[in-house]
DNA sequence: GATTTCACTAAACATTTGTATAGTACAACT
DNA sequence: AGTTGTACTATACAAATGTTTAGTGAAATC
C-alpha cells in the first residue's frame, strides 16, 4: 500500500483533539478553539499544525470556510451509526431465514448497543404477554435478538412454540436443556428438542410511562 | 399513532437543503449559503426558517457558533427514522439548557419508541449504581430522558443531587412530592425543593448477556 | 374583523473566524 | 555551516458569519 507519513507527538495530539471535537460537537473546531484547548496564545500555532496535518494527508481543509477542517476518515455517521433490524410480524414463519422475509418494517438500533456482530442476522419483536416479568421484560417492550448467536445457559431466547414466538430462559438440568418462563404463574418446562430457538435476545428496550 | 409537527412547503425545502448540504459538504451551511441557494436577498429569511425548524424540533442550533446547525434526524426515510439524542457526560451541569452543551456524542433512537415529542429536548445517559433495580433498571443500562416533560407521580426522573445524576422515582405523600430510590437497601426520601429534576425517563435500554 | 403565522426585504452591527506578516528558539538533517 | 522543519508568540487585517431592528404583504387562523 503506502507508508503513512509520521506525525510528531504534538501533531498526534492535535489530530486526536480534532477527532474528539468532531465527535462531541458534531462540527470541526476553529483555530481559536484549538488554540484555547492547548493553551496557545496565537491562532497561528493551531493553523500551522493543521496545515502540517493537511500536508501529510491526514485531513483536508476547505479554505476560507469557517470550521473547514474535514477529517477524511471520519464520517458524520460514524458517531451515530445505526443498524436497521427487521421487525418480526405477529405470525412469523418457522425458520430464521423466513423471519427476515416476513418483515414488517425495520427498527433502528444504535451500534453502541450491539458492538461488533459480524454478519449475524438480527431481528426485533415486540413482547406480548408477561412470561418474562421475572427478568424485567414486560408486554410492549421491544427486544432485539441475534439469529446466529450460539445459545448458552441462562440466555434469554426467542423460541417458536405452536406457531407463536415466545420469550424463555434457556436453562439446564444436569445435561439436558429446557426452557423456563420467568414468571411464578407459569411453570412450563419445555425440552428444546420440541421447538426451534430462533434467536438470542441481546437488547431489551422498555417504554416507561 | 403519532403525528409529527407539520412543516410548510418552504420549511421542507429548507430542511431538504440542509440535509443535502451536510451530506455533500460534510458541514452545515451558513445563513448566507442558505439565502444564496434560495435566492433570498436577506440572511434573515434563512435564519427565520432555521429558527422555525428548530422550534418544531427538526434541528438544534449551537448559538453563536458558525455553521452551528445540527440536524438531529439522520435519515429522512420514513421507514427508519432515528433521532440523535445527546449523551450526557459524567459530570453534567445543572440546568437542562446546559445539559445539551456538555454532550459527549449522540445516541440514535428510533422514533417508533418516542412518538411525538414535539420540540422537547431529549438526552441519553448510562446508568451507574443499582438504586433502580426495583424498576428493572440496572447499572450499564441506557436511559433516554425528556428534559421538557412535565413530571407526574410515579415518573422515573433524572435528578441532580450533589452534582451527580441519579435516577429516582417521583413519589407523593399527601400533597408533597418526594424522590424515592427503588431499592430496599436505600431509603433516601428527598424533598423535590432541594434538587433539580433534569428530565423524565421515557425509555430504558438494557443489554442482555 | 383582528391576530397570528408565513415569507420575505433592507440595512446594519458585532462577533467569529481564516489568514497574513514578522519574529524567536531549538532540533534535525545535508 | 546552512537549510529545513517544529513549535510556538504577537499583532492585525479582512472576510465570513451570526444576530438584530424595522418593516412589507399575503395567507391562515381565531
Q: Is the CB of A32 under 7 A from strand D?
A: no
Looking at the domain assignment, is residue A4 inside a domain? no
Q: Please tell me whether residues A61 and A95 are part of one structural domain.
A: no
Looking across all nucleic acid strands, the nucleotide with the smallest C1' to CA distance from residue A55 is D5
Q: Which nucleotides of D are covered by protein (CB under 7 A)?
A: 6-12, 15-22
Q: Which residue has the higher pLDDT, A156 or B100?
A: A156
Asked if residue A116 lies in contact with residue A103, where contact means CB atoms within 8 angstroms, the answer is: no
Give chain A's domain count: 2
CATH code, domain carrying A58: 1.10.10.10
Question: Tens digits of per-residue pLDDT, B76-119?
Answer: 554 557 788 888 754 333 444 444 445 567 888 888 888 766 66
Mutation to test the A interface, candidates B83, B136, B138, most A Cβ within 10 Å:
B136
CATH code, domain carrying A133: 2.10.109.10
Tell which of A73, A91, A109 closes a domain. A73
Looking at the domain assignment, is residue A1 inside a domain? no
CA distances from A153 to A47, A150, B20, B119, B128 (A): 57, 10, 48, 44, 27
Is A66's CB within 8 Å of B62's CB? no
Is A202's CB within 8 Å of B203's CB? no
Cell numbers 433512537 correspond to B109
Using an 8 Å CB-CB cutoff, list chain B residues near A82: 74, 80, 82, 108
> What pLDDT sits at residue B47?
94
Q: Please tell me whether residues A177 and A118 are part of one structural domain.
A: yes
Looking at the domain assignment, is residue A184 inside a domain? yes
Tell me which residues of chain B have a pLDDT lower than 70.
1-5, 73-80, 89-104, 116-119, 162-164, 184, 186-195
Q: Please tell me whether residues A132 and A61 are part of one structural domain.
A: no
Tell which of B46, B71, B96 closes a domain. B71
Q: At what angle do helices B9-25 and B43-55 cross, to 10 degrees?
A: 100
Q: Is A41 a catalytic residue?
A: no
Q: Which residue of A has its CA nearest to B208?
A: A202
Is A62's CB within 8 Å of B25's CB? yes
Q: Please tell me whether residues A65 and A86 are part of one structural domain.
A: no
> What pLDDT sits at residue B107?
84
> What pLDDT sits at residue A184?
67
Tell which of B52, B71, B90 closes a domain. B71
B194 Cα to chain A: minimum distance (Å): 25
The verdict on A170 touching B (C-beta cutoff 8 Å) is no
Q: Is the predicted pLDDT of residue A93 greater than 60, yes or no?
A: no
Contacts of A99 (CB under 8 A, 6+ apart): A86, A88, A92, A93, A123, A147, A198
B105 Cα to chain A: minimum distance (Å): 5
Q: Quick one: DSSP state of residue B135? A: G
Q: Please tell me whether residues A98 and A198 are part of one structural domain.
A: yes
Cell numbers 440546568 correspond to B95
Q: Is the predicted pLDDT of residue A16 greater than 80, yes or no?
A: yes
Contacts of A171 (CB under 8 A, 6+ apart): A153, A154, A177, A178, A179, A180, A189
Q: Report DSSP letters for A27-42, one per residue.
A: SPPPHHHHHHHHT-S-
Q: Exposed, middle or buried by CB within 10 Å (0-12, 13-18, 19+), for B6?
A: exposed
Q: Please tell me whether residues B117 and B36 are part of one structural domain.
A: no
The verdict on B32 touching A (C-beta cutoff 8 Å) is no
Looking across all nucleic acid strands, the nucleotide with the smallest C1' to CA distance from residue A13 is D7
Q: Please tell me whether residues A89 and A41 are part of one structural domain.
A: no
Looking across all nucleic acid strands, the nucleotide with the smallest C1' to CA distance from residue B52 is C6
Q: Please tell me whether residues B115 and B190 are part of one structural domain.
A: yes
Q: Is the predicted pLDDT of residue A149 greater than 80, yes or no?
A: yes
Q: Please tell me whether residues A68 and A106 are part of one structural domain.
A: no
Measured on CA atoms in the order B32, B34, B35, B36, is the torsion positive or negative? positive
Is A207's CB within 8 Å of B113's CB? yes
Stretch A131-144: mean pLDDT = 80
B162 Cα to chain A: minimum distance (Å): 25
Euclidean distance between CA atoms B82 and B76, whole angstroms: 9
Is A208's CB within 8 Å of B156's CB? yes
Is A81's CB within 8 Å of B108's CB? yes
Q: Please tell me whether residues B63 and B80 are part of one structural domain.
A: no
Q: Is A44 a catalytic residue?
A: no
Euclidean distance between CA atoms A70 and A50, whole angstroms: 11
> What pLDDT sits at residue B169?
86
Q: Domain containing B193: what range?
A: 73-209
Q: Please tell me whether residues B59 and B122 are part of one structural domain.
A: no
Euclidean distance between CA atoms B12 and B63, whole angstroms: 22
Out of A107, A110, A202, the one facing B107 most closely (by C-beta) is A110
Amino acid at each position: 500500500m503506502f507508508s503513512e507519513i509520521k506525525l510528531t507527538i504534538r501533531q498526534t495530539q492535535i489530530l486526536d483533539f480534532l477527532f474528539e471535537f468532531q465527535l462531541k460537537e458534531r462540527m470541526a473546531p476553529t483555530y481559536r478553539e484549538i488554540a484555547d484547548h492547548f493553551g496557545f496564545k496565537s491562532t497561528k500555532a493551531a493553523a500551522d499544525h493543521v496545515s502540517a496535518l493537511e500536508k501529510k494527508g491526514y485531513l483536508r481543509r476547505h479554505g476560507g470556510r469557517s470550521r473547514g477542517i474535514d477529517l477524511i476518515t471520519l464520517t458524520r455517521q460514524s458517531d451515530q451509526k445505526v443498524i436497521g433490524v427487521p421487525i418480526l410480524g405477529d405470525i412469523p414463519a418457522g425458520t430464521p431465514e423466513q423471519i427476515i422475509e416476513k418483515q414488517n418494517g425495520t427498527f433502528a438500533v444504535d451500534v453502541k448497543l450491539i458492538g461488533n456482530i459480524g454478519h449475524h442476522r438480527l431481528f426485533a419483536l415486540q413482547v406480548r404477554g408477561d412470561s418474562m416479568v421475572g427478568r424485567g421484560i414486560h408486554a410492549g417492550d421491544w427486544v432485539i435478538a441475534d439469529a446466529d448467536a450460539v445459545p448458552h445457559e441462562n440466555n434469554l431466547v426467542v423460541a417458536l412454540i405452536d406457531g407463536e414466538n415466545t420469550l424463555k430462559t434457556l436453562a439446564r438440568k444436569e445435561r439436558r436443556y429446557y426452557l423456563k418462563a420467568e414468571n411464578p404463574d407459569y411453570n412450563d418446562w419445555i425440552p428444546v428438542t420440541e421447538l426451534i430457538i430462533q434467536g438470542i435476545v441481546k437488547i431489551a428496550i422498555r417504554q416507561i410511562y
